[in-house]
Structure 1
Amino acid sequence: MATSNPSAPPDSLGLLRQCIASHRLPIPAIDEDPSTATDTTLSLAVATHLIFNLESAQDGAQHISIPLSQPTRFVSVAAGDRQLDLRSVFFCWQNRDQSASNYIAVTQALNDELRSKGTEDVVTNLIFAEKLDLNQWLAGEVGEEESEYIRSLDANKATRAEAKDAAITAAGGEDVEMRDAGLADGAAAKREQERLREIFAAERKMGDRNLMLRGAKIQDYSGIRKQCSALFFGKSRGPASGAQPVQALTHNSNPALRPPPPSVKPAPSGRRPEPIILLSPSASSLLRMPNIKSFLGEGVYVPPESGTASNILHLTRLLPGHSKPIRFVLVDDPSTFRPDYWDRLVAVFTTGQTWQFKNYKWQFPADLFAHALGVYVGWKGELVPETVKGWGRGVMVAQIDKGRDRWRDREVVEEVWRGIEGRMKEMGWGREGR
């Protein structure tokens, strides 16, 4: 086994990137020159070195050993502009697929194990931006010089050149060019300060609730308070003199001031109650308020656009056995529901995340899907979450084709409507009063 011992410290960060590209990860070891398999270990709490196994046409097989405590070219801004050690870099790559909470947990566990062995070396817990940048650079997804946290090799060469010039001058040699020490690092620090200044200048100033409500001009909301008092507390208090009728709220342009949809019980005019469909507020849901109407109404799936969407939509559909179309109410937040609104709930779109039900009348899935149909819509070919499978027949599964040909969407939409209509029939929709 040939061991390379160059005069200058090897670039551990570049070697790790090279090994990852060749699918030959370095091996943690308890000795810088392991001779048997028993000298290697998979635990970074026990290992002291990383053995890099490289192959080249000129030198053949090479085995380079680098201490895990050796600093690398990755500079962590969150850790006070400190160079990250090789153990922290390799540990970050090993846990690149972990979520933020799991990454923090495994980092703490490894540090506890290191401290129990009496060593002062600990693994640095990188923030999300630094972790993402490091893993993308190691995977070769960005160029050598494109990382904002990794010092270039040219900066190290410039530092060594300055040290050589200083040594020649001290020995009485020929004059050399005068330049500031640490010029490369100083220029990088200046660029970093300029970048941060631009970020801070683009930040949006946040205010308290009073500033958000009033704005630059003080507004008088006393009239709205009187109207809401009459609306929610009944006729016992009576409207104040000079106040506008409560019915005027239904024509207010502000959606937050509009009254909730009508009760399940038929109005005196005989109008039928409107069934309610609840959507998932999760950002991972394929169907949200911006695109649900085009899906259920037009049979076409379009990706949901980011931005502000209406918090209530209406959709009209003619159901089998009904002489007139029925208007459905689509919402994604039941926080303003009155108790009788839950009697009108016919379907709940879900992603399989139980936190969606925390503000529902029925917070347990078994109770919820006994009263309304659950609908899970996912991509065709992807696995259905285990939580959805565990909820049984109360939740129907529909899958959308990822292809550009959207002509199959209508088949999926009709399948969803058949499920909703079947559940509505079981609930008694279409009888007297419904």
Structure 2
Amino acid sequence: MASAADQDGLVLLRQSISASKAFIPSASADAAAPEVPLAQATHLDLRSIYFAWLNREVAIPEYNASATKLNDELATAGATGKVQNLGFIERLDLITWLEGASEESEYIKPLAGDKDGSAAGAATAAKAGAVSSTAHARSGKGTMDPRLASIYNGERKMGDRNTVLRGIKPTDFSHVRKLAAPFIQKKSHPGSNNISANPSLALNPKAPTRRPDPIILLSPSASSLLRLSNARTFLQDGKFAPAESSDSTATRIHVQRIIPAVDPNRPMRFILVEGSGQFKPEYWNHVVAVFTTGQTWQFKNYKWSDANDLFQHTLGIYVGWRGDQPPDNVSGWGHRVLSTGVDRWRGEGHDASRFRDKEIVEQIWKSIEANMRSRGWRKDAAPTSI
């Protein structure tokens, strides 16, 4: 069994988070050294990732400002490195992986020499720009004593089932393809004996990529009935409650939903945000719906700032009070915007009056599903353009 000392610092950081163990920046290799400000730490290889984890709950503007401030402090302290300002999706994906909510990340790749990622104590490297160390590291603090490291180097390394079965290098079994061809041809129907028609026998098939999560944009307007504070309760649980006017710094939430037309067996995770300030151009290909109050200033910084252009590329959704007329703008945008209404809020204890909420939620999800199907969402891939 590989010891914890043989693991990469990024793996150790994730394990420390899972076990609620302390990981502290230090200016000394001494295990008893006190904690120092991040700008003064000299024994933390994962500064950018550690910084992103510490600021996982703050809003994007505050996160950017903190990163700028820390880089100024690093420059003042004479440090050569800088904290990389991670993008919105990169930061979200990294935090989800560190928390243990996901076992894979498109931004974290195995180190050279362990491409299959299956060996015990596999080391991983972050694409986000943080330097990953393969040195014998403690949990975010210092390197191993050289004398102890020499003892570990003299140990006899025990193999695991992967090295016993496969060896230290991947084996190319492509020659078996030629041996299997006659048997496949005999069992195939006439006219279908071409081995290239069977993708399972393709030579060096391209490894599947992780499908991005679809994105739903909420309106940041204070008059919107649906905000980050109540969207999950409404869209996932089918119950409407007024949005809370709290001091929460949350910038996104997740909603799980099975979309039968895309993947009938596995729930899809939707990312809900109220703005597109941190979007990269390709993120717009993942937008499946835009909630609106009819106020056009919401679209000012969107890829398509004109509402008519926007709703030609994605679905618009308006949620108002049942019985009220939707705004003129919403009516003018026509069938490209789904107009719905929920019963007025009568206060806690009147749950019996909320029975229509699930009906509205199902109507919304059916429209989102139809839009995703028409835009090319598949079980294993997202559209490359919308």
Question: TM-score band, normalised by the shorter chain?
Answer: 0.3 to 0.5
Q: Return the index of the structure with the highest Cα Rg.
A: 1
**TM-score scaled by length of structure 1:** 0.42
Higher relative contact order (CA 8 A, sep 6+): 2
Q: What's the TM-score, normalizing by structure 2?
A: 0.47
